[in-house]
Homo-oligomer: A and B are copies of this chain.
Amino acid sequence: MEAHLPDMSHGQNGRAAGRPLINPIAALCADCRPANRQSPRTNGGRISRPDIKQQHIVIPPGMDIVTEGERSRGVYVVCDGWAVRYNRLGPATRQILDVLLPGDTFALAATISGTSQHSVQAITSVSVCLLNGRQIVSLLKTDAAFAFGVLQVREADERRADARLTMLGRLSAGEKLGYFMVEIYDRLQRRGMANGKGCPFPLRRNDVADALGLSKVHISRALRALRAQALVDIRGQDMFIPDVAKLADHAGYAMD
Could you list which residues of chain A lie within 8 angstroms of chain B, going by C-beta atoms? 1-3, 5-7, 11-15, 68, 71, 87-90, 93, 95, 97, 108-109, 112-115, 117-118, 140-148, 150-152, 154-159, 161-166, 168-170, 212-213, 252
Contacts and interface: CB of A to CB of B under 8 A. Distances in A.
A223 to B, nearest CB: 18
- Dominant SS among interface residues on chain A: helix
Contact of A115 (B5, B14, B112, B163): B14
18 contacts: A1-B90, A2-B90, A3-B90, A5-B89, A6-B68, A11-B114, A12-B112, A108-B155, A112-B152, A140-B148, A141-B145, A147-B148, A151-B151, A158-B158, A158-B161, A165-B168, A168-B168, A168-B213
A232 to B, nearest CB: 21
A117 to B, nearest CB: 4
Contacts of A252: 89
A78 B2 CA distance: 33
Contacts of A144: 140-144, 146-147
Given A89-B1, A89-B252, A114-B14, A97 B166 contact: yes
A7 B117 contact: yes
Q: How many copies does the complex hold?
A: 2
Contact of A166 (B95, B141, B162): B95
B90 A169 contact: no
B113 A162 contact: no
Given A1-B89, A3-B88, 15 more contacts: A3-B90, A5-B89, A6-B87, A11-B113, A12-B112, A12-B113, A13-B113, A14-B71, A87-B163, A93-B170, A95-B170, A97-B165, A141-B144, A144-B144, A151-B154
Contacts of A143: 144
B165 A158 contact: no
A252 B88 CA distance: 12
Contacts of A11: 113-114
Which of A68, A145, A162 counts the most B-chain CB atoms under 10 A from its CB? Answer: A162
B93 A155 contact: no
Contacts of A162: 87, 97, 117-118, 161
Contacts of A89: 1, 3, 5, 166, 170, 252
